[in-house]
Amino acid sequence: MTICFDIGGSAIKAALATPRGEVRPFARIATPLDDFGAFVQALAQLRRQGGAGAGDDIAVSITGVVDPRSEIIACANIPCIDGRRLAPDLAERLGVPVHVANDADCFALAEAVKGAGRGHRIVFGIIIGTGIGGGLVVDGRILTGAGGFAGEWGHGPVVASEAGEPPVAIPRFACGCGQEGCVDTVGGARGLERLHRHLTGDACESTEIIAAWRAGDAAAARTVACQVDLVASPLALAINIVGADIVPVGGGLASVPELIARLDEAVRHRILRRSSAPLVVPSTLAPEPGLIGAALLAHQGERS
């Protein structure tokens, strides 16, 4: 049996993964952010609550990027683990094997093995939520790449200087990664809000913009069209480079099917490979792909 954790900056979700491949969520608690001892204690308590035995391992899907060579995690959202060799540190404290991977990588693995990417060789799983993320799975295995950054298509100065029809100028917004003009600055929920404020002067939440778009509001439609235009080109470039068969989408905006359909259409017009079938598709494993991916990660670790 494996205890799986999906850990973000606000909450730790826990589940049991049975030998038959079933994932059974059983708890959700607040994430200790500033005290590593409290962070470890929280995981230990959840292990006991889940009924784990002495030798049962742990699998963790977590926000942040894990360097596959050093095993050091970069995680600004959880300061107490930032810069630590997280898997070895947890294994030493808890006395059991620990498997750790980025949450977008776990999402991509879950969708590749059990979700929308099932049966496809190269699966590029992307997150369009608060911001932009991604993970790459080839032949059922996560491809982390140098530094653990493979699949992170949301960063890099790749956003066009104008978008929409007729075109409107788009600033190179500063990104939290330290660069300017990243997809993350205009993609996702915060990006949609930033674009809408730039185009209209109105400060609206993403849910309000989407609702207005669905109701036929012209200003909201302009914002959505610009976002799709800005996001589709770098996504198409990423797909051309990795040769993805399918691109499952998770995150909050993935729950807006007409938005994903618009993005899919725009992407398929921009890639080299021609396809009449949808390529960018909603995920099928909501609401717990992180826990499912963590369970798969542990199972692969046992077979390695």
| CATH number, domain with residue 84 | 3.30.420.40
SS3 at position 74: strand
Rounded to the nearest 10 degrees, the angle between the axes of helix 206-214 and helix 188-200 is 70
Instruction: Kindly state whether residue 110 falls inside one of the protein's structural domains.
Output: no
Mark whether 44 and 99 lie in a shared domain: yes
CA angle in degrees (0–180, nearest 5) for 121-125-126: 155
Q: How far apart are CA 277 and CA 297, in angstroms?
A: 30
The closest of 232, 192, 185, 191 to 211, measured between CA atoms, is 192
pLDDT in tens, the chain (304 residues): 899 999 999 999 999 998 777 899 999 999 999 999 999 999 999 999 999 887 789 999 999 999 999 999 999 899 999 999 999 999 999 999 999 999 999 999 999 999 999 999 999 999 999 999 999 999 999 999 999 999 999 998 888 999 999 999 999 999 988 899 999 999 999 999 999 999 999 999 999 999 999 999 999 999 999 999 999 999 999 999 999 999 999 999 999 999 999 999 999 999 999 989 999 999 999 888 999 999 999 888 655 4
User: pTM above the 0.75 mark?
Assistant: yes
Distances (CA, A) of 193 to 182, 187, 223: 15, 9, 9
Residues in Cβ contact with 282 at an 8 Å cutoff, skipping those fewer than 6 apart? 116, 248, 249, 254, 255, 257, 260
Domain housing 293 = 2-103+287-303
Mark whether 197 and 292 lie in a shared domain: no
